[in-house]
Structure 1
Amino acid sequence: MEALGTTSLGERSPWQDLPSELLGLVLQRVPSHAGRVRLRAVCRPWRDGARLQPPLPPLLPLLLQRDGTFLSLPDGTVHRIPVPDGVSCLMSTGTGSMLFLGHGDGRCSLLNPFCRDTTTPQYVDADCFGFQIPSGDPIVHNVRKVVIMSDHIITIQKTFEGYNCALSIRRRGQSTTTVDVRWMPHVAAYSFDAELFQEKLHIILSTHVGTIDLYVMDLIKDDNVSLQCILSTPVDNLFLPFGHIVDRYLVSSGDQLLLVKQDICKLYNKLMSAQFEVFEATDLSNGHAQWRKVDTLMGRALFLSAGCSMSLPASDRYAGAREDCIYFLCELGCYGIRKENLSFGIYDLRKGTLLSLPSETMVAQQGPQIASWLFPSNT
């Protein structure tokens, strides 16, 4: 690529001396992560100039598709990355820039697809994550979310007996196969999500007795875990209309911890049947926690999916996210061969309207993986 910066006589090309402010304007208008990377690679002066730019507006994330490919929004480019043979589970982690790999023999690993380097070269035993593939079916597995903390990895699992959820906590960088902590709520829960907020893990449960419970986790001396329920509220509709699926997501959004309620009817059009409500957790530290309904995301956008949910500043001028909008991917069936049951779209929280995703027609509907968002770092 450096050869592009010289003429046939070996002279320096004048376009290499693009003023820094113009280079910044060009970078802002590049609509894809891959495009920003390619622009920086044109020549050394551009690469050096890009490092001096202020933080760029965030782009839309990549969509990790059911077939294991990545769809770039809004340009519709499909990317493929090499993964080891025998991977039966490929999903985004809660931090958004890493992939969790579950192998057919029960081993697990982490992968950074943007530097092509596996961050944990050792494979850990299935007991560490509670990773299971019942009946030898690689499509069906129990891991629902992986949250990476500075010293620990948190795994949310769906149990196949009792319709409950469990939490496994493991130290990072340890070769031992011993599970540090395995926690299961005392009341069976049909919905379970976790989110890092202000350096603490928060867990939301939708229980079978009709409550929404919020827990906060503290790690004590690296060996003991304290899990405390700080808020329990009754659900507003214990008996759902036929065909409706309700999921709840925790999302850290700026200085807010948000609970997003998603109601989708799988009997009708996947897009037009989606409804959302957003609540902010208030007074978390004084013992009087409560949920407060909000109708604005304070200049941000939310991205919801089973493996990874995140908040980004809105920047819709240059192929970024729309303000006060929720970009959602919803699996209407998580077990067995799935076909035509992936719901996705954009919900405008202020207007209460639904829009299609950019490049909607390119989204892969079939495959063994669970669709989720992936947020490239350093682009």
Structure 2
Amino acid sequence: MMAATQSSSWADLQMDILGLVLRRLPSLADRVRLRAVCRPWCSNAQLLTLPPPFPWLNLLDGTFLSISDGEIHRMPLPDDASCYGSIDNWLFLTDSDDGCSLMNPFSKATLQLPKLARIWHHERGNAYNACTRLFYKLAVPLPLDLSSDSLVAVLINDPLRHSVVCIVHRSIATDSFRFHDRPFKNNFYDIAFCGGKLYALSCGKLFTVEMSEVHIEKPKVPHVECIVEDFPIESHSQPCPENHICVTWPYLVESGGRLLNVIRLVGVPFPPEDDDDIFKDSLTFSFEVYEADLNTGSRMWRRVESLGDQALFVGRHCSKSLSAAEYVGAQEDCIYFMCDDYFRSDEDPLCDAGIYNMRSGVITPLLQENTAPRLHPTGEGHPTWFFPADGAM
């Protein structure tokens, strides 16, 4: 018995115990370090079904911030490429020649997209300068890891919120549309798929975008219909801070089969101390959530008081709803947000970032002070959420 005890080692750790340890590690990097201890741990870990690692924040220049522990990871981008958004664990990249692509930074798999900036400028006409700064939001009906042949819907905005929606299939721009072509008065703020259908949000109105199944190889947009009317005017859940005015920004998020309009309330100092940068000291102070009634035909938004076991990660370039029970360390009934203001995109993405608790109405820091690095993103692009898959590294 003594000889058997002396011959045992960490490599002999039983798989169920190894699984218990791995399931308590929200950081992908910590899981990689554990697997690297020895070959038996590495091979046994590959046989385990683990919860997804905690999301990261992409910081433009090929660096990623792990939200669970504040650790910085680097995965260099292709030469001359900048990140302007993401879908799950795929980055949306553009280059100096207006080339666009989606890339998985772990596997290096790449999906080519058409030159979207040129499509936007073509739709908007010659009145718009070719140097206009553009912002992108991409949405897919199915995860790209499951269906790389999926349609991709792209919302393109400029700082004045002039917008174009482009439908892409197999790297070809098959159709595009904007409000000028339709009997609408406003521009789109956000898009999202829910139940396989594409929806677009504009000033509280929700539109469904129908695509012809007859032209699946080259789908068109034959019909855009308003299905939920104007946003209800209600008093905010929390008053705007004194000597501030309230500005709002909506995020359209699919969550457990529901389509949510997540309203971010930002207090902007008034009168501003710096007329050249009125948003310099703006700060998020609350959120409100509304659900689109897609079943009864009431054409209304319903106020949502609870997200249940869901955690929302919202951003202008990527929003996603997760089951907190499946992600170690995630807080249920909470909204995770970062600084993604167009006018402050070159600042620390943690300068107006936090976790909003739907139950208490309290905002806590996205990272604790002892783990939060001081970030100064460099390079072109915009910070965005990134959702690594387990086993990617």
Q: TM-score, normalised by structure 2?
A: 0.77
Deviations 1:305-331 (A, max 9, x none): 111111112249x85211111111232
Cα distance in 2, alignment partners of residues 254 and 327 from structure 1: 17
Cα distance in 1, alignment partners of residues 200 and 25 from structure 2: 37
1:39 maps to 34
Identity of aligned residues (%): 32
RMSD (Å), alpha carbons: 3.3
Residue 130 in 1 paired to residue 120 in 2?
A: yes
Question: Cα gap change, 1:163/1:30 in structure 2, threshold over 3 Å: closer, same or farther?
Answer: closer
The alpha carbon displacement at 1:191 in A equals 5.5
Deviations 1:86-131 (A, max 9, x none): 22x40332x321101111111111110122x1322x5643467638
2:220 maps to 224
Deviations 1:108-156 (A, max 9, x none): 11110122x1322x56434676389x8676xx63132122345322111
Given that 2:140 and 2:153 are in contact with CA atoms closer than 8 Å, whether structure 1 keeps it comes out as yes
Question: Cα gap change, 1:97/1:188 in structure 2, threshold over 3 Å: closer, same or farther?
Answer: farther
Given that 1:204 and 1:215 are in contact with CA atoms closer than 8 Å, whether structure 2 keeps it comes out as yes
Given that 1:74 and 1:359 are in contact with CA atoms closer than 8 Å, whether structure 2 keeps it comes out as no
The alpha carbon displacement at 1:378 in A equals 3.0
1:251 maps to 253
2:91 maps to 99
2:17 maps to 22
Residue number among 185, 191, 201 corresponding to 2:198 in the alignment: 201
The alpha carbon displacement at 1:195 in A equals 1.3
1:156 maps to 155
Question: Cα gap change, 1:292/1:136 in structure 2, threshold over 3 Å: closer, same or farther?
Answer: closer
The alpha carbon displacement at 1:262 in A equals 0.6
The alpha carbon displacement at 1:334 in A equals 4.1
Gaps of 5+ in 2: 1-6, 123-127, 142-148, 270-278
Question: Cα gap change, 1:80/1:129 in structure 2, threshold over 3 Å: closer, same or farther?
Answer: farther
Question: Cα gap change, 1:157/1:188 in structure 2, threshold over 3 Å: closer, same or farther?
Answer: farther
- 4+ aligned runs moved over 4 Å, structure 1: 126-129, 134-137, 240-243, 268-273
Secondary structure in 2 matching 1:266:
strand
Number of positions where the alignment pairs a residue of Structure 1 with one of Structure 2? 347
Given that 1:16 and 1:46 are in contact with CA atoms closer than 8 Å, whether structure 2 keeps it comes out as yes
Cα distance in 1, alignment partners of residues 210 and 88 from structure 2: 22
Secondary structure in 2 matching 1:233:
coil
Given that 1:67 and 1:366 are in contact with CA atoms closer than 8 Å, whether structure 2 keeps it comes out as yes
Secondary structure in 2 matching 1:343:
coil
1:354 maps to 363
Question: Cα gap change, 1:53/1:352 in structure 2, threshold over 3 Å: closer, same or farther?
Answer: same
Q: TM-score, normalised by structure 1?
A: 0.80
Cα distance in 2, alignment partners of residues 270 and 21 from structure 1: 50
Cα distance in 1, alignment partners of residues 196 and 154 from structure 2: 17
Given that 1:193 and 1:204 are in contact with CA atoms closer than 8 Å, whether structure 2 keeps it comes out as yes
Question: Cα gap change, 1:67/1:188 in structure 2, threshold over 3 Å: closer, same or farther?
Answer: farther
The alpha carbon displacement at 1:36 in A equals 1.6
Cα distance in 2, alignment partners of residues 324 and 101 from structure 1: 32
Q: Going by fraction, where is strand more abundant, 1 or 2?
A: 1
* 1:1-379 mapped onto 2 (5 Å cutoff): 14-56=9-51, 58-87=52-81, 89-93=82-86, 95-115=87-107, 117-120=108-111, 122=112, 124-126=114-116, 130=120, 141-149=133-141, 150-159=149-158, 163-174=161-172, 179-185=173-179, 186=182, 187-189=184-186, 192-206=189-203, 212-220=204-212, 221=214, 222=216, 223-225=219-221, 226-234=223-231, 236=233, 243-267=245-269, 273-282=284-293, 284-315=294-325, 319-334=328-343, 338-339=346-347, 342-359=351-368, 361-362=372-373, 364-367=375-378, 368-379=380-391
Structure 1 residues 264-273 or 34-43, which shifts more? 264-273
Given that 2:231 and 2:301 are in contact with CA atoms closer than 8 Å, whether structure 1 keeps it comes out as no
The alpha carbon displacement at 1:230 in A equals 1.0
Secondary structure in 1 matching 2:89:
coil
Question: Cα gap change, 1:189/1:242 in structure 2, threshold over 3 Å: closer, same or farther?
Answer: farther
